[in-house]
Each structure stands twice: as structure tokens, then as C-alpha cells.
């Protein structure tokens, strides 16, 4: 029996295959069958002492159930250690109850996952007031990796006059780090949110963008509202071109045409979630974090 194997949900099979090849371990795609009433039947491959469960957790509800069932089968099959690799991690945005009766999804899902696996590895989790991801998963190991090295590698050779742009104050630390790493100017917008789909973005120094390429960088795009408003502000500031790089592309693929219409020349995302815009693999970032699992 191999010491470590990767077992993945079907949606992440292509990315998991590259990771398995890089780590030199076997790969098995978990079988997921849906019964007419919506229940799932899950079939795993042969267990190993250490099993890496690979699952991008966009559209997460069925996937969480599939992972729970897969973990049961793997433990019963002899797995001593389960490592969840979720390049995109769901249900992290609500870390407090804002109104009476609201569930704190981060706590509920964090406790569920912590009771199921021994380690969680994710990339740029969508955390707000939570400063250490280990507090989300009590009693187990957890790492929140940065996509920055992969993005910086992909952007080497970009036009020296490009301005790296973050849409809001939350993006300031990593947009600044990316600008410094690439030797590029950077700027951060001021975002005012009026609702899930209503935002306004302004830039302190619009003259900075005049006649220069702008590279919008955001950690997560779902409705596309923030990206669209930021692009319009850059267009009004007479940026020469506007391109976008996204860590987690959660928006519907048909929205790409809308981005092109409002002036975004290209949209590239990391491989955290399978998407037509994927252009920046996270293989090296994930493999580096998982090397110790191979030598156990």
C-alpha cells in the first residue's frame, strides 16, 4: 500500500492530477452518484495511511456531504490521516452574527471539517475579522497559503509602466506586496458598499492611471460588481488598458463577455476553482505545503 494517495472529487480531477504528478503519488477520483431524491452515494478508492482529499469548495453544499461520506469510507478502509486540500474554502465570510438568529457559518463549517479531517490546506481564505485560520478549525492543523508566488511568477515580464490596482482597503497588503515584488507602482481604491450588488469605488490619485496599463487584482469575484465598478473608475481615469487577475473566480463564465464590454481586456484566475479563466496554476504552492505528507 502506498503511504500517501490523493483522492479528489470529480470537479477537481484535472487540477488534482497535476498535483499528484508533481508529488509523485497515486490519484483516485471519488465516485459520486446522485439518487432521484437528491441523496448521494460516494465510492472512494483504496485507502492509504495518509489520504489527501482534494476538493475546490465552490458550490459547496453537495461537496461537503460528499467529503463527509468519503472521509467515513476512508477511515473505515484504514486511513490514519486525512488532509483536506480546498484551494477555495467555503462559508468563511460570515464570522459573526450581524442580526438576531443568524448562523455563524464560519464556526459551523469549521467545526464540521475539524471533526472530519486532521489538516486543512487552503489558499487566500475569505477571512475578515479572523486573523488566524487555525482558530476556525479547533484541534487540527490548518494553513492559509498565499497565491502571491504563483501570481508573481505568471506576471513576470509585464510592462514596467503597469499600475497594480486593488479595489479596496482590504486588498492593500497583498497588492502592495505584489507591486513591490514586480517593481511596479500600485494603488488601492476606496470602496463603499450599498448592498451585495451595489458598490462605489474611488481612487485617491486618478492621474496615476492616465495613459498607463492597469492590472486589477482581487481575491474573489462572484457577482462581478466590485470588478465592474473598479474597471469603470479606471476607464474614467483614462487607463491605457485594463486587465484583471483573480485568485478565486466564482462568477458565471458568461460574465466574461460583460467584463470585456466594460473595458476589461483580459481576465485570468488561479486554479483554485475550475473556471474558463484559469491561467495561473497553484501546483507549486500546494505541493510545497504537502511535501511533509509524502515523507510521513
pLDDT tens, position by position, 69-125: 999 999 999 999 999 999 999 999 877 888 889 999 999 999 999 999 999 999 999
Question: What is the per-residue pLDDT for 196?
Answer: 54
Quickly tell me which residue has 510545497 as its cell. Answer: 288
pLDDT tens digits, residue range 125-159? Answer: 987 777 789 999 999 999 999 999 999 999 998 99
Under 8 Å CB-to-CB from 189, ≥6 apart: which residues?
Answer: 165, 166, 167, 168, 201, 202, 203, 230, 233
d(C-alpha 123, C-alpha 169), whole Å: 20
Position 1 pLDDT exceeds 50: no
DSSP H or E run through 114: helix 105-114
Average pLDDT over residues 270-293: 97
CA pair distance 99, 47, nearest whole angstrom: 44
Reported as a single tens digit per residue, the pLDDT across 160-213 is 999 999 988 888 888 998 999 999 999 999 877 665 556 788 898 999 999 999
SS3 assignment, position 292: helix
pLDDT given at position 98: 87
Average pLDDT of the chain? 93
Average pLDDT over residues 35-55: 97
CATH 3.40.640.10 assigned to 149-271: no
Report the greatest alpha carbon distance in the chain.
62
* Residue ranges matching CATH 3.40.50.2020 in the chain: 4-146+281-294, 149-271
Kindly report which listed range (162-171, 213-222, 273-282, 284-293) carries the lowest average pLDDT score.
162-171
What is the CATH number that goes with domain 4-146+281-294?
A: 3.40.50.2020
pTM, entire model:
0.93
**Grid-cell match 502592495, residue found:** 176
Amino acid at each position: 500500500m502506498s503511504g500517501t494517495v490523493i483522492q479528489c472529487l470529480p470537479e477537481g480531477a484535472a487540477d488534482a492530477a497535476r498535483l499528484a504528478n508533481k508529488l509523485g503519488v497515486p490519484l483516485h477520483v471519488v465516485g459520486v452518484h446522485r439518487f432521484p431524491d437528491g441523496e448521494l452515494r460516494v465510492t472512494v478508492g483504496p485507502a492509504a495511511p495518509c489520504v489527501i482529499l482534494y476538493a475546490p469548495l465552490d458550490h459547496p453544499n453537495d461537496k461537503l456531504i460528499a467529503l463527509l461520506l468519503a472521509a467515513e469510507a476512508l477511515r473505515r478502509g484504514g486511513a490514519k490521516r486525512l488532509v483536506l486540500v480546498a484551494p477555495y474554502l467555503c462559508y468563511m465570510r460570515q464570522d459573526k452574527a450581524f442580526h438576531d438568529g443568524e448562523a455563524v457559518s464560519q464556526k459551523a463549517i469549521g467545526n464540521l471539517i475539524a471533526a472530519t479531517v486532521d489538516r486543512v490546506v487552503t489558499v487566500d481564505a475569505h477571512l475578515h475579522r479572523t486573523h488566524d485560520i487555525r482558530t476556525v478549525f479547533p484541534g487540527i492543523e490548518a494553513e492559509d497559503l498565499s497565491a502571491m508566488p504563483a501570481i508573481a511568477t505568471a506576471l513576470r515580464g509585464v510592462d514596467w509602466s503597469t499600475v497594480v490596482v486593488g479595489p479596496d482597503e482590504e486588498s492593500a497588503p497583498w497588492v502592495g506586496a505584489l507591486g513591490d515584488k514586480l517593481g511596479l507602482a500600485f494603488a488601492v481604491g476606496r470602496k463603499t458598499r450599498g448592498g451585495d450588488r451595489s458598490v462605489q469605488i474611488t481612487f485617491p490619485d486618478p492621474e496615476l492611471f492616465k495613459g498607463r496599463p492597469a492590472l486589477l487584482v482581487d481575491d474573489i469575484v462572484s457577482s462581478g460588481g466590485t470588478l465592474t465598478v473598479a474597471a469603470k473608475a479606471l476607464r474614467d481615469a483614462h487607463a491605457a488598458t485594463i486587465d484583471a487577475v483573480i485568485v478565486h473566480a466564482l462568477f458565471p463564465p458568461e460574465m466574461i463577455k460583460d467584463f470585456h464590454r466594460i473595458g476589461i481586456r483580459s481576465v485570468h484566475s488561479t486554479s483554485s476553482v475550475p473556471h474558463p479563466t484559469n491561467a495561473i496554476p497553484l501546483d507549486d504552492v500546494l505541493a510545497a505545503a504537502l511535501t511533509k505528507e509524502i515523507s510521513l
